[in-house]
Structure 1
Amino acid sequence: MTVLSFELPDGSTKNVQVNHLLNAGYAGREQDEVQAHIAELAELGVPGPATTPALYPVSPYLAQQVREVRVQHARTSGEAEWALVITDEGVLLTVACDHTDRELEVHGVAWSKNASPDVLGRKAWWLQNVRDHLDQITLKGWVGDGETPGTLIQDSSLEALLTPDYWLEVLSERGLNAPGTVLISGTVAMNGGVNQFARSWKVEMADPVTGLSVEASYVVEQMPEPIG
């Protein structure tokens, strides 16, 4: 099983073995906007969910803290998200980038989520320490054609998404609110006119109250063509 290691604001480190990994989808608080987004995706051939919000189980080993993501073709991209990580001492909150295979997505969203890793930040906060001002925390994503992602592609806040507490209740109903469960939040809108099929990605979650931020960044490497 994958073991993630998080640096906490007090300088200590918390290690967590991942037993369950889930990706939320269509998880905006304004479900009218979500339905409009589903209609847009349908025009691109992406099948809509049976219900919203959606929740996709993902192979636990895909929760990673890597600097490089290897893919099979050019049409893959990330998504700026937050992640909750349940530990034996409480719930951690960090940033994540759900790297998704867009070609596979048209055949099944759940399949596309299992094609690439969820890249998590190396720092985290205790959820209980930021719960009273979650909506003020910003969530941003950048992309780049080279090694450094410098073009803003996502710019929002946690106010746009269903809350960690909402998902903790869902996990409790499914018997998954237990140490070792990681849940990725679903994403926010991308800025128009920016190429998401980028060489490099960076996501950041920043807390204006504490002045702290957590980030994750990586480059995308396309693997050689297969033989056969």
Structure 2
Amino acid sequence: MTPSPQPLTLKVAAGDEELVISPERLIVAGYTAKDERAVAEHIAELARIGVPPPPSVPAFYELDPRLLTTEALIDVSGPSTSGEVEPVVIRHRGRHFLAVGSDHTDRDLERADIAASKAACPKPIGDRVVEIGADLAALDWDRLAADSAVDGRPYQGGSIAALRHPAELMRLLGGVAGDLVLFCGTLPLLNATFVYGASWQMSLAFPGGPTLTHAYENKQRSV
């Protein structure tokens, strides 16, 4: 029998509520930009490191929920891994919450198998979330902004209005039931070049506050 995911404890912004979640599913969505040109640019970024184009746009990768972590240190399998900021939707007992996370990925493995490259690395998320409510479509998505930095240098930044609304992603998934975590896609890299750094900082800002943040370091595990 496969062991259950380790529960994660999250704090809801604008209050003192704590959530203890053990999601049944973890789904990472890729190539989620609304603009077909932006999608092509992201595919081109990946092509520069030898990654083939996806079989569909958007693409959905189902991973083991045990990859989720709120820790500030993650172990990775090799030197060529990198993170990227993502808005993360959490559905827990019929309620929706938004977090900030990083789709940390093994870029060497990505050349051969995208799904395996994502499964090779933990998926860090911040432990502070904002409640959306039961109706995911009510989220004012286009006013949110995200950014990331690696080793203290700006890496990504901008409005997430360019990404498909998570309600649309859920619809495209085809009525997925139960508690889940959905990574909703990312922004282009500022310099269009992957950086294999050690220290990552992520933020997701709501107009007028709050700003969700998470920082972590990655360490290559011993063989």
Q: Same fold (TM over 0.5)?
A: yes
SS in 2 for 1:215: strand
**Equivalence for 2:112:** 107
Could you say what the CA RMSD is over the residues aligned between the two structures, in angstroms? 1.9
Equivalent pair of 1:18/1:63 in contact (CA under 8 Å): no
**Equivalence for 1:200:** 199
**Equivalence for 1:139:** 146
Residue type of the partner of 1:120?
I
Equivalent pair of 2:32/2:163 in contact (CA under 8 Å): yes
Query: Normalized against structure 2, the TM-score is what?
Result: 0.90
Q: 2:155 & 2:17 partners in 1: Cα distance?
A: 32
> Does residue 19 in structure 1 map to residue 21 in structure 2?
no
More displaced stretch, 188-197 vs 53-62: 188-197
**Equivalence for 2:221:** 223
Equivalent pair of 2:45/2:193 in contact (CA under 8 Å): no
**Equivalence for 1:79:** 84
Query: Normalized against structure 1, the TM-score is what?
Result: 0.88
SS in 1 for 2:218: strand
Residue type of the partner of 2:172?
V
Map residues 1-228 of structure 1 onto 2, 5 A cutoff: 1-9=5-13, 10-128=15-133, 131-144=138-151, 150-171=152-173, 173=174, 175-178=175-178, 180-192=179-191, 196-209=195-208, 211-224=209-222, 226=223
Equivalent pair of 1:20/1:60 in contact (CA under 8 Å): yes
Equivalent pair of 2:77/2:121 in contact (CA under 8 Å): no
Once the two structures are superposed, what CA deviation does each residue of 1:58-100 show, in whole Å capped at 9, x if it has no partner? 1110011111111122110001001111111411111011110
SS in 1 for 2:27: strand
CA shift, 1:164, in A, is 1.4
Residue type of the partner of 1:123?
R
- What count of residue pairs does the alignment treat as equivalent? 216
Q: 2:44 & 2:141 partners in 1: Cα distance?
A: 29
CA shift, 1:32, in A, is 2.4
Structure 2, unaligned runs of 5 or more: none
CA shift, 1:43, in A, is 4.1
CA shift, 1:143, in A, is 1.0
Once the two structures are superposed, what CA deviation does each residue of 1:21-72 show, in whole Å capped at 9, x if it has no partner? 0100011111222123324423431011111000001111001111111112
Residue type of the partner of 2:43?
I
Q: 2:36 & 2:192 partners in 1: Cα distance?
A: 24
Structure 1, unaligned runs of 5 or more: 145-149
Distance 1:166 1:208, change over 3 A: same
Q: 1:52 & 1:21 partners in 2: Cα distance?
A: 19
Q: 1:170 & 1:193 partners in 2: Cα distance?
A: 28
SS in 1 for 2:55: coil
Equivalent pair of 1:66/1:218 in contact (CA under 8 Å): yes
SS in 2 for 1:34: helix
Moved over 3 A (4+): 128-132
More displaced stretch, 193-202 vs 123-132: 123-132
Q: 2:88 & 2:79 partners in 1: Cα distance?
A: 26
